[in-house]
Amino acid sequence: MKSFLGRLVRLVGKLVMWFFILSIGSVVLFRWMPVLFTPLMIIRWVEYVADEKEEAQIRYNWVSIDDISASMQRAVIASEDQKFLEHNGFDLEAMQKAWEGNKKGKNVKGASTITQQTVKNVFLWPSRTYLRKGLEAYFTVLVELIWTKERILEVYLNVVEVGKGKYGVAIAARDFYQTEPAKLGQRQSAMIAAILPSPRRWNPTRPTPYIVGRQAWIMGQMRNLGPLPWLEK
């Protein structure tokens, strides 16, 4: 029995060691290397294959943040995480509001930061389990320690889902507006940002009154944002 427990402890120890090596190594690697694909892309592709009514495709094109307009960068910060430059990966005030709202039976959104969303897209899978949430917190700390804010935003803008089988603002710019991501204006950027909470449901070219309202709100918030340091260089 002692021999079995000893082997089990050693096995668990090795698994933990390799988890830390691989997780830290992958975060360091993606600090510099473009993300070629994400778990969400694979999950969605499998879903589309299983559903014969949907065309199985992945449309994705990585671009440098230097080739993404300032308006698009500001739009997603205004829409998704206005404290992006201030926090260390967690918006504690938003988390507290979400916790209190959930206790009252309300579905409060907006607690996930851009960093957390990036982590979920690049390293994890869509789920509400405690395991996923725990890993999300772990990777969020790592990413904030190793990446810059500019890099976090760059990865987010490239891997975010923007439609069925579509990922990244480069694809959104070309498919929805027949332009390059560097040329996206304020209204276009705000409209793309407006659909991100549910990109497979909403389409920038056929906006509902609700999405038009979100676009207007986002444009107003964009004007209130301070400067983005990497754009001031």
pLDDT top residue among 61 and 9: 61
Question: What is the model's pLDDT at position 52?
Answer: 65
9 and 26 belong to one structural domain: yes
Q: How confident is the model at residue 50 (pLDDT cuts 50, 70, 90)?
A: confident
**Within 13 Å and on the Cβ side, how many CA atoms surround 172?**
34
4 and 91 belong to one structural domain: no
* Integer Cα distance of 188 and 219 in angstroms: 10
Question: What is the model's pLDDT at position 107?
Answer: 56
Domain range for 110: 31-231
Whether pLDDT at 97 is above 90: no
Q: Where residue 38 sits, what CATH number does that domain have?
A: 1.10.3810.10
26 and 36 belong to one structural domain: no
Q: What is the pLDDT of residues 30-46, one digit of tens each?
A: 999 999 999 999 999 99
Q: What is the pLDDT of residues 84-93, one digit of tens each?
A: 999 999 988 8
Nearest C-alpha neighbor of 226 from the set 151, 149, 143, 136: 149
Question: What is the model's pLDDT at position 233?
Answer: 65
Whether pLDDT at 67 is above 80: yes
85 and 12 belong to one structural domain: no
Place of tokens 């299983």: 50
Q: What is the pLDDT of residues 142-166, one digit of tens each?
A: 999 999 999 999 999 999 999 999 9
Q: Which residues contact 153 (CB under 8 A, 6 or more apart)?
A: 65, 73, 76, 77, 84, 114
Average pLDDT over residues 10-20: 88
Average pLDDT over residues 3-24: 85
180 and 122 belong to one structural domain: yes
Q: What is the pLDDT of residues 201-211, one digit of tens each?
A: 999 999 999 99
- Residue 89 DSSP label: S
20 and 41 belong to one structural domain: no
Q: How confident is the model at residue 175 (pLDDT cuts 50, 70, 90)?
A: very high
Are 221 and 76 in contact by the 8 Å Cβ rule? The answer is no
25 and 138 belong to one structural domain: no
155 and 68 belong to one structural domain: yes
Domain count, the chain: 2
* Integer Cα distance of 118 and 103 in angstroms: 27
5 and 39 belong to one structural domain: no
17 and 45 belong to one structural domain: no
| Distances, alpha carbon 57 to alpha carbons 67, 104, 171, 188, 201, in Å | 24, 40, 13, 24, 17
93 and 19 belong to one structural domain: no
Question: What is the model's pLDDT at position 80?
Answer: 95
82 and 157 belong to one structural domain: yes
